[in-house]
Chains A and B, each alone.
Chain A
Amino acid sequence: MIVDTVRSRGEVPYPDADLLSVTELLSGDERTRLASLRQFFQDEVRPVATELWNRAAFPFELLPRLAALDLVGRNGRRDSALLTGLAVMEFARADTSLCSFFLIHSELFTEAIRTLGSDAHRRELLPALTDLTNVGAFALTEPDHGSDVSREMETTAERVGDEWILRGSKRWIGNASLADYILVWARDTGDSQVKGFLVEHGRAGLSTSVILNKIALRIVQNADVVLDDVHIPFDNWLPGTTSFRDTDGLLKNSRTWVAWQAVGQQFAAIDIARSYALERKQFGKPLAARQIVQEQLVRMVGNATTSLSLMIQLARLQEEDALRMEHAALAKATCSARMRETVAIGRAMLGGNGISTDFEMAKVFADAEAIYSYEGSYEINALIVGRAFTGLSAFD
């Protein structure tokens, strides 16, 4: 039973729990676009997501319709930072797994081609990527190295004549099993710098195995990737990648989009919790008519609304090209911490029904854990902010 949010919309004020009148910040065209994106996510994504999540299955059939939204940006078209953020939020509000699939493809892989690839890379790859007829993945973390992968990366790329030979293994790589291209980060044995390499699906020596039994983001196909003497042409190196620092721009923005996901997750929890509290009766009156429940709803809305407010400032910094890594780290840490409290309150509001995905909330609650831990754990992001604010590094 998907709780009928639409029905309850007509019955309560602030039907979308938007206490900020946030669309006032958009132009007329942007408002129209956001409304149609939102409608797509709510009508086409949300209703199918829970069943996919239960089966840990990926909906290839959805890709053409998703491509039609032109979210990846055909021919260089870009939405504003705020509209993009709100779109990510609304996507995650409908389903976080599919939103994550999309962000890996669009904001990590495609954006890497755009900003770090050669002209030839862009010319050859972008059309199919923006149309979602090709899908990309981004392979950075390794089995033994997550937060410290920049210093401790073990995967290597050895230049031999006109080729690179890649060796090593990667873990937790989203989309890897179904991707046409994987952007593999490896340490060049020549100069010991970390660089990015395109590895096409089907290359000899490349193998992927999907990570099963996840409790979060179950639609996303994460894989262990093994690179066993994978030979690729020299040109598969992205010329914009000469050291690990070149990931900064990508990671800064992707951290920001993940923070937007954390906002979307909160509104998803609010949508479900409010509808449930209005419909579920206890001792003859709705849960929503009880003080404890109202205070919990308001705490959720307070968390979500302040998180959204923070992200509006992040979007401003992005537009002004003033966004720094510590801003993105602050946003990611802050919004994901709020999210964790928000979904925990919401989960409990549904009682026993909150542990069945049939009521959606269990999925939202579980997905929050992935958001909290990926793109840098809470602690790592906090220490990035701490370093910026105190001038002292406390990573080790």
Chain B
Amino acid sequence: MKKNIYGSSLQVFLTAFTFLIVYLPILVIILISIHGSQYNYDSFKLTFKWYREIINDQQLVDAIIVTLQIAVLATTISTMLGTTFAIGIHSLKKKNRVRMMVLNNVPVVNPDIVTGIMLFIIFRFFRMTFGFPTMLLAHIFFALPFVILSVLPKLKQLDSNLFDAALDLGATKFQAIVRVIIPSIKVGMIAGALIAFTMSIDDFIISYFMKQGEFHNVSTLIYSRLAKRQISSNVFAYNSLVVVLTIGMMILFNSLNQTQKKVRG
């Protein structure tokens, strides 16, 4: 078969363009984080002082802690609940399952700002104290559908008798889920948890509607500072740190995967 050279070179060009446009802000962020001056760009002055400055910015440190706490809790809870609900949805008959999934996918498609307002309205309606609990609930809310979406295909791949087999061998329903179903859909759960974590860490818009007073996660803190002054370079330093760590972890996992494949042949 003759290869379509024009087609593939266009693809390579567009792929390069994609990486450029997606990574350009990242490169700018990293560059700002290692440049000595926040005001002067006449000549480059390498520094790592902004990285030290992260811990001197108590507000930022607090916000990082809040972000991580929310992300970890929301991921754990939404993965547990999402898996349970996915098992429930999987046990439905086709027609009801589709109905359920349509409802499940509304928050996925719903623009964040509308989700934010909807949650804002309902939490307000219940006179809840805005802050940690509402932000946590909100993050669980938007992460749940994604967990369900990633667990469900794994459930579909399972032998339909697996659950019955466990019951048959003397397991209670709970034991059957914990000891048989969950280990078999682990991969989907991990994928769901990763998505939940990513979304929680990255979320700005929904958190923006959930915050109150001095309670901030990183996104809302930066946004609230934006209106008042220039964002100081330690924020960029923190962000660069996150990016570098993520890339490092991904490459590490990838190479681990490769060696594992090799060992198994």
> Real complex partners, A and B?
no
B residues neighboring A (CB under 8 Å): none
